[in-house]
Structures are given as C-alpha cells and as structure tokens.
Structure 1
Amino acid sequence: MDHGSHPVTGSAGLDLAALIVRLVLLPATAFVAGIGLLRPQVDTLPRRLRQVTVVLGGLSAVLAVVSAVAFDVNVVGAVVHALLVLAVPVLTTRRPPVGRWVATALLVLLVLETALGRSGVEFAIDTVYVAATAAWFGLASLALARAETPRLGPLSWTLGGVLALAGAVQLVLSGVAFDRRLYETGFGIALLAAFVLPIVAAVLWRRVAVVGVAAAFVAWSAFVALPAPAELPVPGVPLLADAGGTPVLVSPQRPGRNLVHLATAGSVAVGDGPAVQAVARPGASGFWAEVDLPAGRSSLVVSGRTIEVDTGSASGVATASGPDGPECATTALGGLVAGRKDVLTACPADALSEADADALRKLVGFLAARGTGSITVVGDSSARGTEAARVVRDAAAVSRVAVRPDGAALVVVSGWAQAASALDGAAAAQRERPAYPYGLYVAPWLLTGPLVNTVASSTVPLRFDPREQAAVSYAVALDNAFPGEAATVTGFRQWLGPEQPEPPRVQLFAAAQVNAMPMAPGQPHAPGMDVPGEGAGFFVPQGTVVPISFPLG
C-alpha cells in the first residue's frame, strides 16, 4: 500500500504519519493472516486469542481506510484489504478451511503492500519474509494460548532460520552490511534488527516469540519504507551529494582547497566555520564556492543541510581548484553520472591530448585553405593552454598563416576563465567594428553553453556530433543528476569512459544562438512547443551545433 511521497522521511513514498500507520497496519495484518493460516491445525481457538484476532483485524481495517482517505493510496486496494482482514477472524471461528484461503489472499496483498513497488530478488525476499512472519505469528500465538500445535520446536527454528536467511541476503544486497551505515542510519539499524530478532525469538521461543517476531517485522516494514542511505564518501573521488533535493558537487575531496558546486545560489560552510557564498565562475554554469577541508572525515553545511565528506590523507590535484577547477569538477561529474567512482588524479588542463592537438592542427589547415592570412591566438598559463598555443603557432608557421594581435580570425585555446574573457572581448569588438572577419574558433574543450553562447557564432573542431544519440543521452543524464548543468566535451568523454576510443575524423561544427519563430515580448509559445534549444538533450542550451565542413584531412 503506497502512501505517497514526503520529505520528512525522504523515502519513495512516506511521510512521518504514514510511516507510523504503516508500522501498525502491516504487523496487525500479518498477525491476522497467520492465525487464519494455522487455524485449521487446531480443534478449538482459545477465546482470548480469538478476541485479539478480532481487535487486530478491526484495527487493520480502520487503518486501511484511513490510509485511503489521508494518504491518497489506492482506494480499491484499501477496500479489499479491509474486507479480507475483517473476514478472516469471522471465518476462522465458523469455517476454518475457508478462512485459510481468505488468509492466503490477505497474505498475498500484504506482500504487495510491504514491498512498496520493489521487484526482482528484493520482491522475492519480501515474499519470504512476510510469509514466514505470518506463519510464525500464528504458530507462536497458538502455542502461547496453549492450543495443541505439533512440532513447535522444529517449526520455530525453521521459521527463524528462514527469516534470518532472508535478512542476511537483504543485508548483503543493501550495500550497508560492511560499513558504518549499518549502525549509524535508521535504514541500517532496521535491517540489522530484522536479521537478529528472529534468531533471538527462535532461541528463546515461548517467552518472547511473539514480541520478537513482531519487532522484527516492524523493523522490516520500516526498512522497506525508509530511503537507502547515501553511499559513503571515498577520499579522492569527487562527491555528488544531495542537500534536501538540491545536488551538490565537491571536488576533488582531498585535504586542502576544494570546490563546492551548487545548481542554485547558496552558501557553504565547513562544520561550524563561517559560511562562504557560492558565486558564478567565468565559463561555468551554476555557482561555486572554494573551501578548505581538513584531512579525514568532516562535514559541509550547504544552505542549512549537512553533507558528510571524507578527504583521506593524500594530497590532491592543484588544478582541481583555481581558474581550471570548474572544468575539472564537471569532467569528474560526467563519470559520476555514468556510475563510476574514479579517484581524481589529473585535470583536463594538466596536459594537451594528442587527439586535441591533432584537431587544432587540422583547424589551422582549414583556415589556411580558406585564405585566412592571419590569426590571433589566446592561450593561458596552464600546461594545456601553453602547449595548445604552441601547437597552433607551429601549425600556422607551416601553413604560412601569420599570428598577430589583430588577426583576421580568433583562435581560443585557453581554459574556461580566459576563454570567457576573450570571447566577451570579441563580441564587444564585433559590435563596434568588423572584427575577426574570418570568424571565431575555439578548442574542443571549450564547447559548453556558458562560453559559446556569449557570442553569436563560433566554430569548434570535434570528433563527435553533439546531435548524436550518445551525446544526447549524456546531456539528458547530466540534467537529471544535476539540473541546469551545462554539457561539456571533457565531461562527455568521461561519461563515455576510457574504453571508448575517440573517432579518428575531425569535423568543424558551428555553435550558434538560435531563436526560430520569435514571439512577441511576453507571448507564450503554443502548447507543446519548446523554445528552441530548451529542454533535455541539447548539448548547448538556447543554441544549436551543426556541422559546417567535411571531415578535415
């Protein structure tokens, strides 16, 4: 019985009130179903046990109706639950064989309600745990009521072993069995109780059987409803965390200076330290704060929410902060979105890849073939920017293209911060005079919305088509994990993984801002019509990237 969604518990469906109702409703239903299942095994049901079954059946029916009214659960399911749980106590007295079949139907419904939409192996484990619990409820209750029940000892040990085995399998599948989340989170404690309590109940049997099994089933019901705890931070692996529904990226998660990336404006504090306001960074999307993290475990407070971090003791990567830090962090984000937890050992600005160097050489060759007599090259002091500028100058010398401050084309091979300044300057110059008549060209790693959207049009040499399925899938996955985050070429490469070789071809693509079918100010678009460039799957938001050349030789 799904009880909706609420931030109090953070689960896929429950608020605090619904969780309390669930933890009463499900054990009460299991008890009634267990009595109905085992009633034909005895000649007479003791009066006190019969009264308890009637009371719990009525309580379960009332809570099922309350769930339908207060928590917007499936009304048909709630009505069926109420009818079945009321029918079992009546039929166990008058027609026990029929009552067993009704109790079986109630047990099937209870499995579905307990599982809350789980599937596969976990659903099978839920089925085993719920069925064994109901059977043990019936067995223990009949025994305590001194009804004649056969083979109490072997049955109790068998049921206890089944519950413990199901709990052990779920412990392993949950991923919390061998780390501190087992005893530091409600999820882990509930799961541990669901594993241990059946063993205790089996050993002590008559004295605590019903109480132990009831507590175990309450723990199991709570575990299924509670959200799985976040994965523990791994030193050196950039951390993608959740701060109350807002994604947070911490990079490189090493002792010393770290970048904290937020999708929206906010503040960041280390423990009880002063808050640092996150600000926009040139060429990057979202907001960024630089903080100093101590070695080992500590915490970040992001806009009032606490996030655990663990930096370990090893030194980090110098370029993971500073002007090239945002590119490094968003590159790592691509791997995190793909599900990989790679330790950050280098940043894109640390070296120029041969693939990018080859693309720049072919770009210069294209410019020379067009008759471009001169170019202006913009690099920076990073290892990649310095080497890229040298590659472009050497290629220009071979092609007899002059490199000078007032060139006919602008070629930007720096990092994001310097590129943002260069493109802003180029846009301003083009508004005042016919500057750069042969166009604006950027290195492959500079294809990202916050950069190329600062100018009307720019050209980039690429080895992939940003409109192809893989690139679109990356952009969609990135937006799902970190809403509003701009796609990047280095992030896309990291998302693909190292086992994906880059295609040998290099082709020129034009990135341009687009506004097809412009509307009057304030006029809404037609229903179902997105603004061009908006929505998931666009590598450059509010723009388009299209090929403008054949593969370059």
Structure 2
Amino acid sequence: MSSPHALRTPRGRRRFVTPATAVPALAVPVLFLAVAVPAWAQTPGSGYGRTGEAAGAVLTNPLTISLGIVAVVASAVVAGTATLGFLSPPSRRSVLVVQGGAAVAVPVLVINWLIGGLTALAAFPQAAGVLLAAVMFARGCQTSSAVIGLLLIGALGYNATIGHVGWHVGLAAVHMVAAVTWLGSAVSVATPACGARFTVLRRHTLVFAISATVAVAAAALEAVAKGMRFDGVTFGSLTGQLVIVQALGMTVAISTGLCRPGAIGGRVVAVAAGLVFTAGTVIAVQTPAPVPADTGRPLLRTVALAGQDVPVVVVPQRPGRNLVHVGVPGALVGGVSADERAGAPGGWAMVDLPAGTDVLTVEADGEQVPLRLDLGSDPAPPALVAGLAGPDGPECLSAVVGAMVGGVSDLPAACPADKLSAQDAVALRATVRFLADRDVALYLVSDGSGRSKAAATVVRDAAAAHGLRVDDRLNPADAVVVVAGWEGGRRRLTDELFGRSTVGGTYTAPWLATGSVLGRRTSAVTTLDFDPRAVPAQRYLADLRAAGVTLLASPAGFREWSAPTDRDEAIAGPRIFTAVQVAVIPAAVGGTDHRTTAPWLPGGALTPVTPPLPT
C-alpha cells in the first residue's frame, strides 16, 4: 500500500489523496478501455466486433477530425501537467484537471479507433499513457508521472509531424512540445490554493517563459511557411482567423500572468493557454491558408467550392488578359462568368487583371473563395495571350498545365494551335496513306487557326500523292478527316451523333484525342505517336491527378510534360486508336492487375486498332 500524498485545500486543511480516492475519477476511461480491449484483440477476419473500416463508413470525416482535436487537447493537458509535477506537489485542483483530461482523452481515443479515425497502434498506447500519467500524478509519484508525461509529449510531438516534409518536420515537433509544456505550466500555476500560488509561479516562471517563447516563435515560422501574410486573403480564411485567436490568447495569457499572478490571473492564464492550444490544434488539421503565388507564373489551385474540391487555373497570371479555368461551369471569376465551351471541360472565362491585382475571387452557389495573385510587372508573350483568348484557348491552357506539372517554369511563346508540329504532320500523312488502301474520297473539317490551315495542306498534298479525291461537300461515302481545333472537332463529332455519319468513318487529328472532344464515342478514330496506356502517359496522368486536373489531359499537355527530359518512349511509328467504353474488368484477370492503368478518357479508353503505320 503506497503512502498517502498530502494536499492542501484553500482553507489550509490537509486532504489526502490515496489510490482509493484518486482512481474513482478514472473509472469511466478504465471501464471503457476494458470493454474495448476484447475488440482490439480480435483480427478483422475473426468475425468479432466491428472493424475500423466498417464503422468509418457509418460516421463522417468531420466527426473523426473533431474527435482527434479533442483527444490531442485533453492528452496535452495530462501530458504537460504530469511532466511538470516535479516542480511543485500536485494540488487538489490540478489532480482534478488531470483526471478530467484523462476521462475525456481515453474514451475519445477509443471511439476514434472504433470509427476508423485511428489505428489501434496509435490509439491504445496513447490512451494507456494518458491513463498511467493521470494515476501516477494523482498518487504523487512525481518521477513516474514525469517520465510517462515526457513519453506522452514525445508521442504528441511525433503525431504533429505527420504530413510534413523537410525542415517542417522538426518545426512541427518543436511547436507541439513547447505548446504542451506551456499548457502544463499554465495548469500548474492556475490550480494551487492562493497561499501556494506565488511559490508555484516562482518555480514555473522559467519553464513558462521559455516554452511560451519557443511556442510563439515556432507558430510564427509555421504561419509563414504555410503562406500566411498580413492581408485579407489570410484573415478571411478559417486558418487566418484561428491565428488571430492564437495571437490574442497568447497576449492575454502572458500579460495577465505577469500583471496578476493571483488566483484570477492564474485561471485566466490557464483558460487562455487552453484556447491557444486548441486553436493551434485546429490549424494543424485544417486546410492551410491560401499560399502565395509564384510571381508571373501560371496559377494552379484546388479550392473548396460548392461542396466539392474544384480546380482553378489562371494562365498566364500576368498583367492583362488571362484565361481562367474552373472545374465547375457557371462560377464567377472576378465577376466574369466561367461558361462552358464546346470540346473543353468545366468553365472558362477571360479576365482582365490590371497590374498590381493581388486577389482573384471565385464564386459559386453563394460561396466565395479568394485566390492570391502575384502578376509581376512583365506582360505575357503577345502570341500566347492571343492564343488563350481565341477558340483554341482551352487546349493552350492544357499545354501550359502539362508543362507546369512536368516542372517547366517558363511560359511558352505561343500556343499549340499556332503552327503544325512535325509529329502531327507525320501522323496525318500516315492517316491518309492508311485511307489510300481503302480507296475512299476525303472530306476535310478545318478552321482558321495556323495549325489547321497547315494540316489541311498536308492532308491535301498527301491525298494527291496517293490519288485520293478531296471533296468540297460532304458525301455519305466519304471518310471525314477533322483537323479543326477542340471546338470544331467536338461540333463535328456531335453532328455525327445526330445522324450525319459517313460510310468511310471519321478520322480526327492527334490533338483531338481528349476526353472532352471524343467523350464516350465508340467510333471516333485518331492517329497518335504515343500510347496512352504506356508508362510515360500514365505518369503524366498521375501528375495531373495529383494536381486535381485530370480532365485537362491532352496530347498537347503530354507533349509539354515530356519535353524537359524526353520522357516519351521510342515508337516504331504512329498507330490508329479508337475510343471505346471501359468495361469493368476484375483485378488480376489473366495474371494482370488492370487497376494500375488509368484511362485517358473519362469513362472510356483509347485502344490501338492498327500496328505502327508506315510514314
């Protein structure tokens, strides 16, 4: 039987806290832990209890996040106070605070595990540490409670580093450790009886000052690293508002602790410290404030808008006219409606941005999201701006996005539709040679772009060389060759859907192999000099998916993505691909895991129907 530990009440009478009087306050977490242990011991396949995945499907993610915040704050109160117990004997109030923190933390950790928010390896060691620290602290075992508290602080510091990279890992850990220590010091100073408060305050002054200073410095560095600035974008966001709460709470806690170290002051310090720590914990799990834009470089962001994650792309992000793509059509961008365009996904808007504009507002369904801009002073290349403002602007933006995700920082001088590339010219000649074996007349669909005019010339010359006729009017027996841009190509394929198809079929130029142009058609045919199913194209799609702009996949974007290191694989020659709807194929059929290949087209795929064609 351990010896009782004497505590002094506010009236000066001694009250003894023994294991018999300390443990009842912990009965709830102990019972909860005891009930949960059998479920913890079962394997997912044993048929007992409920797995985290099953329960997680029932409850929502916001609940998991809320429980995580509560668990961190309650665990921090226990860890910080128990660790600093060697500086002064625990008071009745400090014991109650620690026991209350444990009574909250342990059930919340177990519940969070049950709903799939935490693994057993993360939840139960932390719950056990909280429980042991509270018991040792209540029994007056200063060394044991300090050691367990230190281990618990270390666990909280490690958890704070999850999701960080580089030097941000150490910064996050230092911030958490300093904040937990400061919180424990505040509780220790606020809870003693009035007569003992000055003694406790004197012993904790150094720890309180150092931990507060380190916490403030780390918080400031983290705020800067997350892109927070003294502007309306930061303080209009949830993260910015929480930073204000942190700053005010820290100011109130420190100033009150210095000016009024008595009973009321101590309680104010503790409340302010708890508020600061809670705000910091919420910041850690919330989306960071909008980060600064790179000066004069295209902007690519994903924002929460209209109840979903929406990509927003601003090109070229220079003074003057800019093309803005929004993942949902109909949104307002700087007051301009982002409308749908034929052959292009989402919404599109041309927005004039005067020099010095630093915020662009995107609005949908009554929600507004500000985006930081940094236009710089240099105008964009005139040919690029003209191309973005024209009918082929969406393809031009997709090419710029491909360069961005591929690591290219410079703006292109012009858009892909300005001239015909050598690769596309080879593909078009191969297509005409393929059609020469079928002995059909050709009908050309073109537009006014420089590329389309050059492509029409290539097709006519190749047709003449192979003895094919090019009709000026559409004949049902013709083979249609589409060399227009995305808008013209989509309109032609739409016409075909409504009965204007031809016996000879429709052959599209390589730049039209996009999901928004081909859609889910089963008869569209195009000639490509790369395989959308091969590793390079799959890596390109993975980079787009990571940036949230998979629907902007295009041959022009893939070409710009491939350019820096020639990531494309060697090919024997262009091949004709057809768009087909994707059937659901079970994984590992025939020894192949089909989940590793992402389709180039949403709801469909491009499949080769010819061997490499002669050029």
Match of 2:342 in 1: 282
1:43-82: CA deviation from partner (whole Å, max 9, x where unpaired): x44x3xx323323431442354256448935496666656
Alignment of 1:525-544 (within 5 A): 537-540=598-601, 541-544=603-606
Match of 2:508 in 1: 442
Counterpart amino acid of residue 94 in structure 1: G
Deviates more, 1:161-170 or 1:72-81: 72-81
The alpha carbon displacement at 1:468 in A equals 0.6
Q: Is residue 54 of structure 1 aligned with residue 116 of structure 2?
A: no
2:5 maps to: none
Q: What is the aligned counterpart of 1:323 among 387, 391, 395? A: 391
Match of 1:132 among 172, 178, 185: 178
User: Is 1:417 paired with 2:465?
Assistant: no
Secondary structure of 2:391's counterpart equals helix
How much does 1:467 deviate?
A: 1.8
Q: What letter corresponds to residue 533 of structure 2 in structure 1?
A: R
Alpha-carbon shift at residue 381 of structure 1 (Å): 0.4
Determine if the alignment matches structure 1 residue 237 to structure 2 residue 298: yes
| Structure 1 residue aligned with 2:529 | 463
How much has 1:445 moved relative to structure 2?
0.8
Q: How does 1:400-415 map to 2 (within 5 A)?
A: 401-405=468-472, 409-415=479-485
Q: What is the distance in 2 between the residues matched to 1:454 and 1:220?
A: 51
Measure, in 2, the Cα distance between the counterparts of 1:141 and 1:249: 46
Q: Structure 1 residues 245 and 429, CA, compared in 2 at 3 Å: closer, same or farther?
A: closer
Contact 1:65/1:79, CA 8 A, preserved across alignment:
no
Distance 1:494 1:162, change over 3 A: same
Moved more, 57-66 or 533-542: 533-542
Question: Which amino acid in 1 is paired with 2:238?
Answer: G
TM-score (structure 2 length as normaliser) = 0.68
- Measured in 1, the distance between the counterparts of 2:150 and 2:552 equals 53
Whether the 8 Å CA contact 2:70–2:108 is kept in 1: the answer is: no
Which residue identity lines up with residue 350 of structure 1 in the other structure?
D
- 1:32 and 2:97 equivalent? no
Residue-by-residue CA offset, 1:128-166 (whole Å, 9 max, x unaligned): 233333434455565672346887665455434433443
Mean alpha-carbon deviation: is it higher for 413-422 or for 543-552? 543-552
Identity %: 25
CA shift for structure 1 position 311: 9.0
Q: CA deviation at 1:408?
A: 5.8
Q: Which residue number corresponds to residue 147 of structure 2? A: 101
Query: How many residues end up aligned between the 2 structures?
Result: 519
- Please state if 1:387 is matched with 2:450: no
Q: In the alignment, which residue of structure 2 is the partner of 1:262?
A: 327
SS for the counterpart of 1:377 is: strand
Once the two structures are superposed, residues 14-56 of structure 1 have per-residue CA deviations (whole angstroms, 9 ceiling, x without a partner) of: 45x964x7666544543432332232344x44x3xx3233234
Match of 1:485 among 544, 547, 551: 551
Name the counterpart of 1:521: none
Following TM superposition, by how much is the alpha carbon of 1:430 offset from its aligned partner in structure 2, in angstroms?
8.1
- Taking the TM superposition and a 5 Å limit, the aligned residue runs for 1:293-442 are 295=354, 296=357, 297-308=359-370, 310=373, 317-335=385-403, 343=411, 346-364=414-432, 370=437, 375-397=442-464, 401-405=468-472, 409-423=479-493, 435-436=503-504, 440-442=506-508
Q: Is the 1:116–1:224 contact (alpha carbons within 8 Å) kept by the matching residues of 2?
A: no
Following superposition, the deviation at residue 200 of structure 1 comes to 9.0
List alignment gaps of at least 5 residues for structure 1.
7-11, 518-524
Cα distance in 1 for residues equivalent to 2:491 and 2:415: 21
8 Å contact from structure 1 (residues 448, 539) kept in 2: yes
Deviation at 1:300, TM superposition (A): 2.9
* TM, length-normalised to structure 1: 0.74
2:611 aligns with 549
Question: Comparing 239-248 with 381-390, which one deviates more in the overlay?
Answer: 239-248
Asked if structure 1 preserves the Cα contact closer than 8 Å seen for 2:79 and 2:180, the reply is yes
CA displacement 1:464-520 (0-9 Å, x = unmatched): 222211212333554565587263211222333544376775723222244699xxx
SS of 1:466's equivalent in the other structure is coil
* Alpha-carbon contact 1:509-1:545 (below 8 Å) kept: no
- Could you tell me how far 1:418 is from its partner in structure 2? 2.0
In structure 1, what residue type is equivalent to 2:402? Answer: G
Post-superposition offset of 1:301: 1.7
SS in structure 2 at match of 1:58 = helix
Measured in 1, the distance between the counterparts of 2:176 and 2:169 equals 10
Could you tell me whether the CA contact under 8 Å between 1:476 and 1:536 is conserved in 2?
no
- The verdict on how the C-alpha distance between 1:120 and 1:547 changes in structure 2, with shifts beyond 3 A counting, is same
Q: 2:576 aligned with 1:510, yes or no?
A: yes
Aligned to 2:214: 162
**Aligned pair in 2 of structure 1 residues 333, 240: CA closer, same or farther (>3 Å)?**
farther
Residue 176 (str. 1) matches residue 224 (str. 2): no
Give the deviation of 1:248 after TM superposition: 4.0
Describe the SS at the equivalent of 1:538: coil
Question: Contact conserved, 2:79 with 2:153, CA < 8 A, in 1?
Answer: yes
CA distance in 1 between counterparts of 2:183 and 2:297 reads: 49
2:331 alignment partner, SS class: strand
1:110/1:130 contact within 8 Å kept: yes
Q: Secondary structure at the match of 2:551?
A: coil
1:65 partnered with 2:146: no
Query: Once the 2 structures are TM-superposed, how far is the Cα of residue 105 of structure 1 from its aligned partner?
Result: 3.7
**Counterpart of 1:317 in 2: which secondary structure?**
helix
Alpha-carbon distance between aligned partners in 1 of 2:180 and 2:128, rounded to the nearest angstrom:
18
Structure 1 residues 199, 454: closer, same or farther in 2, change over 3 A? same
Q: Can you give the 5+ residue segments of structure 2 that lack an aligned partner in the other structure? A: 1-51, 191-196
